[in-house]
């Protein structure tokens, strides 16, 4: 059964969301203006809807809920109590508290321990503190890794609060470009990517006394690589404690990986029954259904917060906006606090989900997968699960990783239901059928390492002198094809030589906490004489969208934005904004006047400072090209040539390497300007209704031939498609041969 309903639905996405988006695009295209991707989407439209009376469906659910309400009478008291308990009481109420001492004994007696416990049992917030209280922090840092940055920040904040210390003192966190730790820090939460990078400068991780690899069941690429590295580190360092925690059943597998005697400690759970309801027939539109379901629950009489899972930011924003709108349109609907959460949401908004809503009204949290296991919100009694999530998967059609929506696994579905049974018996509404659950969902999720491009990982491992990647101890080895692809990517960028060894360029690239193309761009910029410019551009690319478009002032905001736009390049437009801001002495007033997010700009400046330090320590020259911005475009081309496209029609391009159509995004500086360069390169491809190029720069055909000779050749001043394809295939083949040969020769070394 290849084309399952769910798989098809996941590629199609939600019609409701599309309508929202299309209205945005139409509006902006008509007016020759620019829509804003991402953050402000919800503000872009004011969909007018007539007042609606509750439907019969709503009334039926109301009745069902009433029955459910009888059954739950005592439960409200529990959740209210939970909210009013002191921090000490809350800590002691967690399941992990009951086994505190026996768990510490197992840790004392073993170097590696696997700890399994239901989500919300207190693993992430308590374990570090127990270890600290037992003296493990006296001779080193207690580190705890998280696959998600939001989780690292939010959990560190919570633990600092529980300890009664300012965040960044005894308890802090580090995520990419943001280090909130100090000399005092003993408990350090961090993303797994940060710890991985720390291995580069300190292979034995000497300043840690304990490392907790949290949320190991998530199986992020970084966690998987850390597994392999830490397995060696614990063998070398008998004074290091390694604790691997997991919410699910992978425990035995983890234990096996670290050696047969590795104990598995189970925290007895305290979970309540969750009634799970499936649909009788596949749903038409998951966003629409989720909205209806949420409103039905809300109009019912049962108290308790709602958690809706959505695949990504846009779905979340549209869902949140429409729920609010619909409720506003209903007479006498009780108030509801709709709270979105996703990784790009500013942290002060993120913490809202944990707080009690003003006036104690019902909360409806609309979240990505982050709420599946990483973050536990108390008081959730209802879960709505459309059955989808966003995953990074290598897409052979476009020749790179793409974040796309896929059906979740059965394991994920069960985790999601479980979220409703934390504080009392709950209900989970699955927006799919029992058959879809059984037949169309994988039992468990495929680990990221087996489905993504591993260029970053390869670069890192090569820098750690792990030369023979095929021999690296992976828990689940990536398919050889993945490795080849990743090595090929690195070879085209000049990071690996023909024998698959790290070049000087590659060594320098590994020093930057960036994607290989961005690091390459910085290094080349130093030679080309435009590193000041490229530093600003890379920093701006590393922060969320900077343009604001407040409701009611859209036109004003658009015209301001237009002033910054450089017609041949979005990268240069970003540079322009940064330079203007710098001229105004980094003024936040200036940002406000120009509809620019001051926080994001400040962040870009911090990122820039950090990248500049890395440049300096690598003796890469800091030079400005002054007013010559052509050289800046050429430098962009030197790193992004694999993403080159050729003009086909208005706003339409075609990828030179893969032949697929790619479109200018309406937010691009090049969109609707009447300026149509023959060739452009893009930063990334966003796949929504069409393949949209995000952040685009016009380049010259000759540059492509000069900078990307393995892909493109120059023929009568134009690149012909056939020739290019042949070149690509040839390059691919010879590269694979070389890689195979090099692997073979290395095996002898
Ligand atoms: O890691 P695990 O899922 O076992 O649990 P945890 O994240 O340590 O959560 C323990 C408790 O802390 C839960 O009741 C959470 O709701 C609470 N918590 C919180 O109130 N605020 C946070 N930022 C994180 C957790
Ligand atoms: Mg946790």
> Which ipTM value was assigned to this complex?
0.98
Q: Is 378 in the pocket of ligand 1 (CB under 6 A)?
A: yes
Question: Strand 679-687 and strand 661-664: pairing?
Answer: unpaired
Q: Is 625 in the pocket of ligand 1 (CB under 6 A)?
A: no
pLDDT in tens, 428-444: 999 999 999 999 999 98
Contact between 192 and 226 (Cβ < 8 Å): yes
Which one of the ligands is nearest to 378 CA? Answer: 1
Token duo for residue 379: 């008081």
The full length of the chain comes to: 749
Contact between 384 and 429 (Cβ < 8 Å): yes
CA of 672 to the centre of ligand 2 (A): 47
Q: Is the dihedral of CA 708, 713, 716, 718 positive or negative?
A: negative
pLDDT at position 589 is 96
By alpha-carbon position, which residue is closest to atom 15 of ligand 1? Answer: 376
Q: Is 418 in the pocket of ligand 1 (CB under 6 A)?
A: no
Sheet hosting strand 241-246, strand order edge to edge = 178-180, 171-175, 187-191, 141-146, 208-213, 241-246, 112-116, 264-266
pLDDT at position 731 is 53
Contact between 614 and 511 (Cβ < 8 Å): yes
Q: Is 267 in the pocket of ligand 1 (CB under 6 A)?
A: no
Pick the closest to residue 340 from 38, 33, 650 (CA basis).
38
552: left (phi over 0), alpha (psi -120 to 50) or beta: left
pLDDT at position 3 is 61
pLDDT at position 40 is 28
Task: Give the distance, in angstroms, between the CA of residue 467 and the centroid of all CA atoms in the same chain.
Answer: 29
pLDDT in tens, 533-564: 999 999 999 988 899 888 788 899 999 999 99
Mean confidence (pLDDT) of the chain: 85
Backbone phi, then psi, for 381, in 5-degree steps?
Answer: -115, -15
pLDDT at position 344 is 79
Q: Measured between alpha carbons, how far is residue 57 from residues 16, 62, 326, 564, 696 in Å?
A: 20, 8, 15, 51, 48
Place of tokens 């109420």: 93
CA of 690 to the centre of ligand 1 (A): 39
Backbone phi, then psi, for 624, in 5-degree steps?
Answer: -110, 145
Backbone phi, then psi, for 13, in 5-degree steps?
Answer: 75, -170
Atom of ligand 1 at shortest distance to CA of 82? Answer: 14
Integer Cα distance of 503 and 192 in angstroms: 26
pLDDT at position 119 is 86
Atom of ligand 1 at shortest distance to CA of 267? Answer: 4
Query: With pLDDT > 90 as the criterion, what percentage of the chain qualifies?
Result: 62
Atom of ligand 1 at shortest distance to CA of 154? Answer: 23
Atom of ligand 1 at shortest distance to CA of 125? Answer: 8
Query: With pLDDT > 70 as the criterion, what percentage of the chain qualifies?
Result: 86
Mean pLDDT: which of 62-66, 452-456, 586-590, 660-664 is highest?
586-590
pLDDT at position 631 is 97
Atom of ligand 1 at shortest distance to CA of 351? Answer: 23
Pocket test for ligand 1, best of 122, 245, 307 (most atoms within 8 A of CB): 122
pLDDT in tens, 328-338: 999 888 999 99
pLDDT in tens, 336-360: 999 999 887 877 777 788 888 888 8
Contact between 91 and 97 (Cβ < 8 Å): yes
Token duo for residue 572: 């240069």
Query: In which band, very low, low, confident or very high, does the pLDDT at 64 lie, cut at 50, 70 and 90?
Result: very low
Q: Is 158 in the pocket of ligand 1 (CB under 6 A)?
A: yes
Contact between 186 and 141 (Cβ < 8 Å): yes
Q: Is 119 in the pocket of ligand 1 (CB under 6 A)?
A: yes
Pick the closest to residue 273 from 120, 77, 71 (CA basis).
71
Pick the closest to residue 181 from 212, 148, 207 (CA basis).
207
Taking residue 531's Cβ as centre, other Cβ atoms within 10 Å add up to 26
Pick the closest to residue 270 from 403, 96, 134 (CA basis).
96
Cβ neighbours of residue 583 closer than 8 Å, sequence gap 6 or more: none
By alpha-carbon position, which residue is closest to atom 20 of ligand 1? Answer: 354
Task: Tell me the average pLDDT across 702-715.
Answer: 87
Atom of ligand 1 at shortest distance to CA of 374? Answer: 3
CA of 151 to the centre of ligand 2 (A): 8
Integer Cα distance of 595 and 548 in angstroms: 5
Residue 56 in this model has a pLDDT that exceeds 60: no
Contact between 288 and 137 (Cβ < 8 Å): no
Q: What is the dihedral of CA 268, 109, 252, 235, to 10 degrees?
A: 150
Which one of the ligands is nearest to 374 CA? Answer: 2
Q: Measured between alpha carbons, how far is residue 417 from residues 216, 305, 420 in Å?
A: 20, 14, 6
Task: Tell me the average pLDDT across 20-43.
Answer: 41
pLDDT at position 20 is 77
pLDDT at position 376 is 83
Integer Cα distance of 304 and 379 in angstroms: 6
pLDDT at position 453 is 86
Task: Tell me the average pLDDT across 671-683.
Answer: 87
Pick the closest to residue 671 from 708, 654, 696, 704 (CA basis).
696
Q: Is 597 in the pocket of ligand 1 (CB under 6 A)?
A: no
Integer Cα distance of 719 and 700 in angstroms: 11
Contact between 735 and 491 (Cβ < 8 Å): yes
Task: Give the distance, in angstroms, between the CA of residue 149 and the centroid of all CA atoms in the same chain.
Answer: 8
Pocket test for ligand 1, best of 131, 158, 189 (most atoms within 8 A of CB): 158
Residue 41 in this model has a pLDDT that exceeds 50: no
Lowest mean pLDDT among 228-232, 365-369, 668-672: 668-672
CA of 422 to the centre of ligand 1 (A): 11
Place of tokens 């059965």: 410
Cite the beta strand spans of 122-206 per DSSP E.
141-146, 171-175, 178-180, 187-191
Contact between 148 and 370 (Cβ < 8 Å): yes
By alpha-carbon position, which residue is closest to atom 21 of ligand 1? Answer: 158
Token duo for residue 710: 């393995």
Contact between 397 and 361 (Cβ < 8 Å): no
CA of 121 to the centre of ligand 2 (A): 8
Question: Strand 336-341 and strand 362-367: pairing?
Answer: parallel
Q: Is 708 in the pocket of ligand 1 (CB under 6 A)?
A: no
Strand partners, 25: none
Atom of ligand 1 at shortest distance to CA of 375? Answer: 7
Q: Is 121 in the pocket of ligand 1 (CB under 6 A)?
A: yes
Residue 165 in this model has a pLDDT that exceeds 80: yes
Contact between 381 and 420 (Cβ < 8 Å): yes
Integer Cα distance of 250 and 244 in angstroms: 11
Question: In what helix (H) or strand (E) does residue 393 lie, and over which residues does it extend?
Answer: strand 388-395
Task: Tell me the average pLDDT across 507-526.
Answer: 95
| Long-range contacts, 268-273 (Cβ 8 Å, 24+) | 268/95, 268/98, 268/99, 269/95, 269/117, 269/118, 269/121, 270/95, 270/118, 270/121, 271/118, 271/418, 271/421, 271/422, 272/421, 272/422, 272/423, 272/424, 272/425, 272/426, 273/421, 273/425
Residue 39 in this model has a pLDDT that exceeds 70: no
Integer Cα distance of 18 and 688 in angstroms: 9
Backbone phi, then psi, for 666, in 5-degree steps?
Answer: -60, -20
Q: Is 173 in the pocket of ligand 1 (CB under 6 A)?
A: no
Task: Tell me the average pLDDT across 586-597.
Answer: 95
pLDDT at position 468 is 83
Contact between 251 and 399 (Cβ < 8 Å): no
Integer Cα distance of 278 and 281 in angstroms: 9
Integer Cα distance of 386 and 282 in angstroms: 10
| Long-range contacts, 589-594 (Cβ 8 Å, 24+) | 594/560, 594/564
Which one of the ligands is nearest to 216 CA? Answer: 2
Question: In what helix (H) or strand (E) does residue 307 lie, and over which residues does it extend?
Answer: strand 305-309
Task: Tell me the average pLDDT across 365-388.
Answer: 92
Integer Cα distance of 368 and 162 in angstroms: 26
Pocket test for ligand 1, best of 99, 120, 144 (most atoms within 8 A of CB): 120
Strand partners, 566: 569
Contact between 185 and 168 (Cβ < 8 Å): yes
Residue 84 in this model has a pLDDT that exceeds 80: no
By alpha-carbon position, which residue is closest to atom 13 of ligand 1? Answer: 120
């Amino acid at each position: 059964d290849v084309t399952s309903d769910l798989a098809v639905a996941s590629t199609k996405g939600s019609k409701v969301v599309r309508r929202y988006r299309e209205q945005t695009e139409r509006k902006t295209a008509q007016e020759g203006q620019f829509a804003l991707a991402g953050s402000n989407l919800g503000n872009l439209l004011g969909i007018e809807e007539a007042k609606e009376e509750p439907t019969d469906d709503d009334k039926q659910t109301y009745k069902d809920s009433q029955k459910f309400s009888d059954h739950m009478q005592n439960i409200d008291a529990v959740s209210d109590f939970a909210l009013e308990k002191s921090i000490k009481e809350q800590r002691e109420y967690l399941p992990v508290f009951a086994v505190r001492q026996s768990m510490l004994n197992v840790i004392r007696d073993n170097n590696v321990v696997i700890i399994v416990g239901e989500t919300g049992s207190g693993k992430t917030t308590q374990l570090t503190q127990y270890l600290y209280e037992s003296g493990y922090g006296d001779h080193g840092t207690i580190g705890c890794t998280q696959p998600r940055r939001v989780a690292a920040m939010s959990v560190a904040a919570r633990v600092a609060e529980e300890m009664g210390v300012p965040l960044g003192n005894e308890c802090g966190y580090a995520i990419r470009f943001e280090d909130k730790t100090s000399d005092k820090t003993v408990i350090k939460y961090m993303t797994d990517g940060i710890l991985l990078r720390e291995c580069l400068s300190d292979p034995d991780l000497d300043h840690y006394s304990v490392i907790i690899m949290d949320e190991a069941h998530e199986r992020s690429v970084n966690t998987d690589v850390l597994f392999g590295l830490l397995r060696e580190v614990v063998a070398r360092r008998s004074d290091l404690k390694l604790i691997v925690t997991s919410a699910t059943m992978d425990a035995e597998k983890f234990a096996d990986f670290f050696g047969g005697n590795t104990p598995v400690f189970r925290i007895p759970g305290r979970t309540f029954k969750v009634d799970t309801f499936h649909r009788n027939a596949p749903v038409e539109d998951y966003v629409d259904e989720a909205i209806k379901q949420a409103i039905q629950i809300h109009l019912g009489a049962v108290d308790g917060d709602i958690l809706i899972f959505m695949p990504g930011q846009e779905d979340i924003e549209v869902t949140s906006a429409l729920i609010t709108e619909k409720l506003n349109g209903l007479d006498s609907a009780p108030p509801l606090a709709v709270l979105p959460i996703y990784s790009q949401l500013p942290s002060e908004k993120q913490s809202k989900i944990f707080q009690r809503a003003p006036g104690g009204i019902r909360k409806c949290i609309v979240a990505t997968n982050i709420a599946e296991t990483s973050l536990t919100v108390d008081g959730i009694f209802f879960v709505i699960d459309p059955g989808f999530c966003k995953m990074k998967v290598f897409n052979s059609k476009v020749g790179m990783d793409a974040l796309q929506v896929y059906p979740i696994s059965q394991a994920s579905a069960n985790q999601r239901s479980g979220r409703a049974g934390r504080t009392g018996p709950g209900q989970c509404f699955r927006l799919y059928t029992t058959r879809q659950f059984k037949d169309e969902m994988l039992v468990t999720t495929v680990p990221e390492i087996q489905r993504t491009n591993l260029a970053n990982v390869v670069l890192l491992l090569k820098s750690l002198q792990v030369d023979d990647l095929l021999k690296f101890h992976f828990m689940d080895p990536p398919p050889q094809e993945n490795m080849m692809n990743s090595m090929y990517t690195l070879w085209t960028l000049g990071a690996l030589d023909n024998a698959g060894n790290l070049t000087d360029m590659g060594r320098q690239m590994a020093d930057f906490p960036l994607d290989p193309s961005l690091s390459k761009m910085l290094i080349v910029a130093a030679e080309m004489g435009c590193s000041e410019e490229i530093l600003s551009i890379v920093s701006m690319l590393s922060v969320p969208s900077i343009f604001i478009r407040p409701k009611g002032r859209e036109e004003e905001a658009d015209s301001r934005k237009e002033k910054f736009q450089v017609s041949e390049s979005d990268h240069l437009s970003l540079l322009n904004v940064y330079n203007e801001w710098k001229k105004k002495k980094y003024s936040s007033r200036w940002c406000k006047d120009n509809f620019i997010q001051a926080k994001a700009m400040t962040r870009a400046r911090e990122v820039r400072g950090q990248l500049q330090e890395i440049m300096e320590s690598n003796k890469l020259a800091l030079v400005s090209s002054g007013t010559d911005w052509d050289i800046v475009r050429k430098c962009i081309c030197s790193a992004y040539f694999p993403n080159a496209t050729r003009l086909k029609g208005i706003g339409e391009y075609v990828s030179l390497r893969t032949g697929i159509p790619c479109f200018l995004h309406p937010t691009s500086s090049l969109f609707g300007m009447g300026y149509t360069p023959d060739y452009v390169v893009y930063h990334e491809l966003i796949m929504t209704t069409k393949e949209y190029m995000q952040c685009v720069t016009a380049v010259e055909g000759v540059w492509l031939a000069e900078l990307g000779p393995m892909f493109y050749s120059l023929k009568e001043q134009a690149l012909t498609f056939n020739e290019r394809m042949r070149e690509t295939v040839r390059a691919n083949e010879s590269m694979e041969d070389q890689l195979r040969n090099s692997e073979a020769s290395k095996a002898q070394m």
